[in-house]
Structure 1
C-alpha cells in the first residue's frame, strides 16, 4: 500500500498561507487535485494553486467567509464543480482572533472565536458530505490544537474551548459518517514555527521557552502537519476514524 493520492480531489480551507498552504502543496505532490480556499490570503492561495497547476494538477483558488453558511456552501460547490467532486476535506481554517481573559471578554469575541474555529468546520463539512458520500475514499480532516487539550496560553480560553469542541465534532461525526465509509479525524498541532499564528500572538522569548521545554528540542514545521494530513487522506489510514493525532514534539502525552 502506497501513499498515492492520484485522482483524489481535495478542498483545503485556509490554504493561502502557513499550514494550509503546506497541506495543499503536499496533497498536490502526491497526485491530488486541490481547491485552495482563502479568506484574506488571496495572493497566497492563487500562488499555491498556480504551483499545483504548473505541476500538472487541477487546482483553483476560491475565496469566501466560512463563518457564513451560505458562503461556505458556495465554496464547497465551487470546489466540487471545478474538480469534478470532492474526496478529501481539510478544515484547516481557524484563528485565535485575540487574547482576552474571561473577565474582560466580550460576547462578540467569544462568538467570533467559536464561529471561525468550530462553525466554519461544521458549515464546510455539512456542505461537503453529499460529495464525500459519492467518493470511494471520503476523508474529513479537522484542525484542533494542543490548546484544546491543555487549555492554551494566557488569554486563550475561548480558543481552547473551540479547539476542544472540534475534537468532539470529529468523534461524533466519525460515527455518523461511518456508514458511508467516510473517515473523520483531527490533528492537534502544538508549536509550529513560522506561522502567522505564533508570529502574531506568541512573543519570541515565549517561543524559545516552548521549544526548550520540548522533548524533541525543536519547533514543529508546517510540513510536520502536512505529513499527518497525507496519512489521514490516504488509503494508509482507511481503518482510522474518530482519532486525534498530536503533532507537538512530545509536549504532552495522552
Structure 2
C-alpha cells in the first residue's frame, strides 16, 4: 500500500497495562488488528492472531509481538465456519490457559451500486465473517474468561450513516454494536465487560482491496480532519477497553472518526 499504514511499529510505547493477559485478535495480520496486536504485546499481553490466509502479513505481525517479548500464536482459517471459531478459542485456551481479551475485528466488504448486483453468496459470507463469527467466538470464549475480562467488537460509523454501496457490511456493523450492548448486560454478573469501537475512515488493506480506485484516492477527505486515520490511532482505545482501568466501562460504543459524529 502507498502510503504504508502506520500500525505503531515505531511509535507505540507500552506501560504494562495488560501485563500477564492473554488475548485473541481476529483479523490480526494487518490493519487495525495488527496495530492492536502490537499495542497489546507492548502492554504485556500474549496474543493469538487469527487470520484467513495472509501468511506473510501474519508472520510480520508475529515478529512485532515477539520483539516486545510476548508470545504470538498464529491460527489461519476461515471464520465463516463456526467450527473454526471454536477451534481458535480452543487453541488460545490450550496455549495460554484462558482468554482475558477477545477482539472480534476480522471483516469482509465489497462495494456495489445496486441491490441487484449483490450476490446471495456474498451477502451470506459477509454476515458469516463479520457478525456470526463474533457470536461463535464469544460463545466459545466466555467459559474461559475470568472476571475482569473484556470483549471488544469492531463496529463502524457506517452503522449510523450507511453508504448505500456497502449494504451487507453496514448491516453487520450495526449488528455488532447491538450484540455488544446485549453482551454487556448478559455478562455483567460474570465480571466480563463488552464494548465496541466505531472507526471512521481508517487506512487499511481492506480499502484498496474492496473499493473503486476513484474512491480510494479521496478516501477520508470527507471527515472534518480531512484525512483517513491510521491503525495506530485506534490501538490506544482498544488497550484502554481491554485494561483493568476500564473496570466500569461496559456497553459503550466509542467513535474514532476524525470528527465525524455518530448518532
Whether TM-score is above 0.5 comes out as yes
Shift of 1:105: 2.3
Q: TM-score, normalised by structure 1?
A: 0.91
CA distance in 2, matches of 1:112, 1:204: 24
1:113 equivalenced with 2:126 (yes/no): yes
CA distance in 1, matches of 2:214, 2:120: 31
1:188 equivalenced with 2:198 (yes/no): yes
Shift of 1:123: 1.0
Aligned pairs, number: 249
User: 2:44 is matched with which residue?
Assistant: 31
1:140 equivalenced with 2:151 (yes/no): yes
SS at match of 1:142: strand
- Pick aligned residue for 2:29 from 9, 12, 16: 16
Shift of 1:243: 1.3
Unaligned stretches of 5+ in structure 2?
1-14
CA distance in 2, matches of 1:67, 1:10: 20
C-alpha contact (below 8 Å) 2:157/2:262 kept by paired residues: no
C-alpha contact (below 8 Å) 2:208/2:216 kept by paired residues: no
- Pick aligned residue for 1:130 from 143, 146, 160: 143
- Relative distance call for 1:36 and 1:151 in structure 2 (3 A) is same
- Pick aligned residue for 2:58 from 41, 45, 49: 45
Question: 1:117-136 CA deviation, whole Å, 9 max, x = no partner?
Answer: 1011111111101111xx23
CA distance in 2, matches of 1:174, 1:240: 9
SS at match of 1:37: strand
- Pick aligned residue for 2:220 from 202, 207, 211: 211
- Relative distance call for 1:107 and 1:62 in structure 2 (3 A) is same
User: 1:1-254 counterparts in 2 under 5 A?
Assistant: 4-99=17-112, 101-132=114-145, 135-152=146-163, 154-193=164-203, 195-203=204-212, 205-207=214-216, 209-254=218-263
Shift of 1:201: 2.8
Question: 1:74-110 CA deviation, whole Å, 9 max, x = no partner?
Answer: 1111012112211000001111044352233232121
- Relative distance call for 1:203 and 1:251 in structure 2 (3 A) is farther
What RMSD, in angstroms, separates the aligned Cα atoms of the two structures?
1.8
Q: TM-score, normalised by structure 2?
A: 0.89
